[in-house]
Amino acid sequence: MHSVNSSSVSFSALGRRAEPPTIARLMSMALEQEKLLSLAVGFTDNRTLPVIGVEAAVEALARQSGEPEYLQYGTNQGRPGLRQLLTERLLLAEPKLKANAVAESLMITNGSQQALYLAIQVLCDPGDIVLVDRPSYFVFLEMLTGLGVQARSIPVNAAGRIDGEALRQSLVEMETNGETKRLKAVYFVSYFSNPSARSLAESEKNTVAQVLTERGLIIPVLEDAAYRDLYFRQPQAARSVLGLPAWETFPKFYLSTLTKSFATGLKIGYGFCSDKAWLKKMLHVKGHHDFGTANFNQAIFEHVLAGGGFGAQLARIRPTYEAKMRWLHGVLEAEGLSALGWRWAEPTGGLYLWLEAPLALDTSMDSAFCHACIREGVLYVPGDLCFGDVAPKNFVRLSFGVLSESDLVEAGRRFVTVAKRFG
C-alpha cells in the first residue's frame, strides 16, 4: 500500500496545492459517525425531498413517444428547454433584464460549485486577487486557495454591513502596493447567505459598484444567489447585480442552484452571464471538464419546472425550514446560550444560524472547544474558515437543514452543554 506521501508521482502546482476540502471531511465525518449529530453540513431535509415529483417526471419521460434523448448525452451548455424556462424564471425576479435576457446567456452546470470554479478558472492565474464578502462561502474560499488565488474581504462595519469608506481605503492601499492589476473579480453571496444568513441590501451592492467604478476597476462580478428562493415568508426585495444600474457596465455572472431548493442529489446549478466572451471561455473549459451536465437530471428538472412542480416544492419546504430554524434557535435560547454572551440573529431564510461567541472563546477548527463538541457528539462549521483574510476565531456556523426536529433539539443541547463548560 502506498500513501500519498510515499508516492513517486510528481504533481503539478495545482496538484501540490490541493488539500482535502474541509467540506468533504465534514460530510464524511457526519456520514461515518453514527452518533454524531451534524449541524455542519449544508444538506437539505430528507423528508421533504421531492420523491413524488421526481417519480412522476421519470415516468412521464419514459412514456414519452419518440427516442429517449434524455438518456443520451446532452449539450455542453445545457438543455435548451431548461435554459429557456430558467431564463423566464429569472425574468420574473429581474424584470429590468428583459431587453437582452436570452437563454443563450445561461449555462447549466454540475451544481453551482462548478459554475464558480469555471468562472474563476478562466479569470484568474495564481497570485491574482478576488474581493469577497465578509464572511464568505468557505468552499469558495478553499477553491481560491486551491487555484493559488488570494481572497481579500470587502470591509464591513460593526453591524456587518458593507463599509464603502473602508473599501475605498483598502483599494487605495492595493493601488499603492501595485496590487490592483491582479484584482480580477468580486464575489458575494447576497441572499440568506452561507454562512451569515444575511442578505445584502441594494445600497450595499451599489456601494461596492460605486467604489470600484470610482477607482476605475470595472472587474467581473459573481453574484451567488444560491439561497434566493429559500426565504421563509417574504422574498428578499433587493435586486441582483443584473438589475441594478450601478453594475450596468460590469461583466456580470449571476449564479444559483437547484440543489438546495429542489434536490441536492440532482446536482444542477446554473449561471447567467452578461458577457459573451466570458461565457464562451467558461463553456470551453466546461467542455474540457465534462462536455455537459447530466442530461437525465436536467430532463427531470425541466419536466418539473414546466409543470409547475418547482413552485409547489418551494411552497412545501419553506415552512419546513422555518420550523427547523425555530427548533434550533429555540433550544439554543432555552438552554441559555445567549446568557453566556453568545449572539446571533434569527434568519428569515436559508439554512444557517451564524453565532458569535464571546471574543475570548476560540471555536476554530482545532480548538479545544471544537474537539469538546465532537466528543459530546455534535459537529459544526468553525467560522474562521469563512473569512478571506484575517479570521476572527469566535464564530460558528450551524446548519438546520438535514436533522429532524428531535435531533436538532438534542444537537442544540449538546452544543450549549459544551458552551457552558467553556463559559
Ligand X SMILES: Cc1ncc(COP(=O)(O)O)c(C=O)c1O
The binding site for ligand X (CB under 6 A) comprises: 42, 111-113, 137, 189, 194, 224, 226, 257, 259, 269
CB of 111 to ligand X, least distance (A): 2
Query: Which H helix or E strand runs over 338?
Result: none
For ligand X, the closer of residues 170 and 193 by Cβ is: 193
Neighbours of 173 (CB within 10 A): 11
d(CA 287, CA 289): 5
Pick between residue 194 and residue 297 the one whose CB is nearest to ligand X. Answer: 194
Cell match 438552554: residue?
Answer: 335
- Of 194 and 298, the one with the shorter C-beta distance to ligand X is 194
From 311, 400, 324, select the one nearest 50 (Cα to Cα). 311
How many whole angstroms separate alpha carbon 123 and alpha carbon 413? 45
Nearest approach, Cβ of residue 335 and ligand X (Å): 27
Q: What share of the chain is helix, strand, coil (3-state, %, to 5)?
A: 50, 15, 40
Cα–Cα distances (Å) from 321 to 50, 217, 346, 415, in that order, read: 15, 39, 13, 20
Per-position DSSP letters for 240-290, written without gaps between them: -TTT-GGGTTS-EEEEEESTTTT-GGG-EEEEEES-HHHHHHHHHHHHHHT
Which residue stretches of 8-68 are H helix?
13-17, 22-32, 51-63
Nearer to ligand X, 191 or 342 (CB): 191
Q: Which of 306, 278, 311, 310 is nearest to 107 (CA)?
A: 278
Nearer to ligand X by C-beta: 170 or 190?
190
Q: Which is nearer to ligand X, 50 or 111 (CB)?
A: 111
Shortest Cβ distance from residue 26 to ligand X (Å)?
11
> Nearest approach, Cβ of 194 to ligand X (angstroms)?
4
- By beta-carbon proximity to ligand X, the closer residue of 123 and 331 is 123
User: Which one, of 233, 244, 256, lies nearest residue 108 by Cα?
Assistant: 256
The CB-of-281 to ligand X minimum distance in angstroms stands at: 20
Q: Among all residues, whose Cβ is closest to ligand X?
A: 111
Q: For Cα atoms 169, 173, 175, give the angle at the middle one, nearest 5 degrees.
A: 115
Cross-strand pairs, 152:
131
What is the per-residue DSSP string for 169-232?
A: HHHHHHHHTT-GGGEEEEEEE-SS-TTT-----HHHHHHHHHHHHHTT----EEEE-TTTT-BS
Minimum CB–partner distance for residue 113 and ligand X (Å): 3
Nearer to ligand X, 197 or 408 (CB): 197
Nearest distance from residue 225's CB to ligand X, in Å?
9
Phi and psi at 175, nearest 5°, equal -60, -45
Q: How far is the CB of 243 from ligand X (least distance, A)?
A: 20
Least distance in Å: CB of 9 to ligand X? 28
Could you count the other beta carbons within 10 Å of the beta carbon of residue 177? 9
Report the residue number, 20 or 178, with the smaller CB distance to ligand X. Answer: 20
